[in-house]
Structure 1
Amino acid sequence: MTHHSAMHSEPVETPTDTLSHAQIRAARAYLGWTALDLAAASGVSFSTVRRVELPGPRAVRDENIEAIRGAFTRHGIRFVTHADGALGIAGRARIPS
């Protein structure tokens, strides 16, 4: 029997400069955060949050993306790239309040 390790490999962390708008929106939805919540948690402006969540090229400073990643990381979110190149998020189990 042939073993396909790529099919069963763990996803790897996505580099900050390749975080997609969809990953950021998914992470926010996972935590139940509004865009204002993310702005407050990351220390970036609301307008910056809205810009990073738009598809396509974005004019956002690297340090703002890193601040957004940091806010999510502090709340248990990891941004991952799967073996097939698909981007996603991984989070710790949420306990209902």
Structure 2
Amino acid sequence: MSQPGSILKVSIRQLKAARALLGWSQDDLAKAAAVSIPTIKRLEASDGSLGGRDETVQKIVNAVACAGIDFLFENGNGPGVRLRKPNRSKT
């Protein structure tokens, strides 16, 4: 994971995979990230790195990360995503 405040270099494919793992539609992502649906659609219509304004990218990355997604980066096996195990708090 990245340091707080830094912007991850996330690919469109990673973002789509993250949405799939979460079972989120583009509308769900837009709501969670507090960005417009047309913005999500426009960004996902391209390929390569997630573009757009830094603030928008940060909102999108934070939304899926807060929902439990870890972004995996090039380490010999290629980039990807994974769904974190839910934290089980002791009560």
- Give TM-score scaled by structure 2 length: 0.76
* Separation in structure 1 between the aligned mates of residue 51 and residue 74 of structure 2, nearest angstrom: 26
RMSD: 2.2
Quick one: percent identity of the two aligned structures? 35
Query: Cα 1:17–1:51, aligned 2, differ >3 Å: closer, same or farther?
Result: farther
* Separation in structure 1 between the aligned mates of residue 15 and residue 24 of structure 2, nearest angstrom: 11
Partner in structure 2 of residue 47 of structure 1? 38
Partner in structure 2 of residue 38 of structure 1? 29
Q: Which has the larger radius of gyration?
A: 1
Query: Cα 1:57–1:66, aligned 2, differ >3 Å: closer, same or farther?
Result: closer
Q: Which runs of 5+ in 2 are unaligned?
A: 87-91
Q: Which runs of 5+ in 1 are unaligned?
A: 1-12
What pairs up with 1:1-97 in 2 under 5 angstroms?
A: 13=1, 16-53=7-44, 54-56=46-48, 60-84=52-76, 86-93=78-85
* Separation in structure 2 between the aligned mates of residue 57 and residue 74 of structure 1, nearest angstrom: 20
Aligned residues, how many?
82
1:90 corresponds to which letter in structure 2?
A: R
- Give TM-score scaled by structure 1 length: 0.72
